[in-house]
Amino acid sequence: MSVLRGLSIVATSLFVLACSPSEQPRNKVTYQCGALPLTTELNGETLTLRFGAENAQTLDLKATRSASGARYTHLENGAEFWSKGNEAQFSSDAFSLPLCVVEGTLPQQFNARGNEPFWLLAINGEQATLRQPGSEANFAITRADAQQLHPLLIDIRLDNGWLLTLEQQVCYDTMSGQSFPYHAELRTNDEILRGCAGDPDRLIAGASWQLMDAPSTLDQPPSLTFHSDQRVSGFAGCNYVNGRYEITGEGLRFAPLAVTKRMCSPPAMAFEDAFLRDLQQVTNVKVFSDNTLQLQLTNGDYLQLQQVPLKLW
């Protein structure tokens, strides 16, 4: 299925892939909300949301009047789901998800980049800007097609004939080691530029990650949940934590975290103290295709975490 259906979709400003994959019935759509898959199923005026792939929580929302797009609400949880084109937003009193994008599509704003030589292709709607040392050029996107393979392949054609190909597979920056959602290849008239694409934050945000190999002395393993606004919350082994994190071109860092003051057994307290010290030494995150990640420390060690079902309420 052509993702943009040629130029006809481009004219609607729904950049890449504004139609859902052909195998999905029209009343059932799967989104990717950062690292969290979300499935919506419409039955009359009721929209059922399923958060995650396994052991997922569900929530029923009712259709509500909207000046633009489709809006559904659940008053008891203060929840709202709003969709337009291939993008959607979910928020509730307890949690807001990152931008949700229909599975097999791209967000309206999207970057691809590479090193040696440096290049950055910034896409906004049906426009693209290529930045290289000493130069900047603007292009129009004339076509975008997706091959519904595993991994997904997306071809984006520029009006000068150049072709950007994206492969939906974790890509590691050749200089910083930063993790990105896509491999990227830009074919010009003279050369092939390779690099990574997408927003690194979408690989971790909107999901909960639990520490692997935690000692049995703990009542439950430590975990971290990365929120849509670069806020982090979690459990450190005895107490709950809350604070902020930042992803830059150089890696990931945590700001000082607020910690509750509960007392636990001496082994649990000792482990928690070490875990919190390690979080302040994090310099980068490396994400893997098996739903695990490593928080890399300044001393070369790392914390290994795995994605677990997100608890929204």
Residue 56's pLDDT band (cuts 50, 70, 90):
confident
Per-residue pLDDT of 117-138, as tens digits, reads 999 999 999 999 999 999 999 9
CA separation for the pair 107, 169 (Å, rounded): 16
Q: What is the mean pLDDT of residues 22-44?
A: 85
Per-residue pLDDT of 257-301, as tens digits, reads 999 999 999 999 999 999 999 999 999 999 999 999 999 999 999
What pLDDT score was predicted for residue 14?
Answer: 37
Instruction: Indicate if 132 and 89 belong to the same structural domain.
Output: no
Instruction: Indicate if 215 and 300 belong to the same structural domain.
Output: yes
Per-residue pLDDT of 158-195, as tens digits, reads 999 999 999 999 999 999 999 999 999 999 999 999 99
Residue 17 φ/ψ region, left for φ over 0, alpha for ψ in the -120 to 50 degree band, beta for the rest: left
Residue 93, both tokens:
């009193």
Instruction: Indicate if 253 and 191 belong to the same structural domain.
Output: no
Which of 100, 85, 104 lies closest to 1, judged by CA?
Answer: 104
Residue 72 lies in a domain: yes
Q: How many structural domains does the chain have?
A: 3
Question: If you average pLDDT over every residue of the chain, what do you get?
Answer: 90
Residue 26's pLDDT band (cuts 50, 70, 90):
low
Q: Which CATH number belongs to the domain containing residue 34 in this structure? A: 2.40.128.200
Residue 313 lies in a domain: no
Q: What are phi and psi of 112, to 5 degrees?
A: -130, 145
DSSP symbol at 200:
G
Range of the domain at 145: 109-200
Residue 5 lies in a domain: no
Amino acid identity, residue 93? D
Residue 1 lies in a domain: no
Instruction: Indicate if 226 and 244 belong to the same structural domain.
Output: yes
What pLDDT score was predicted for residue 12?
Answer: 36
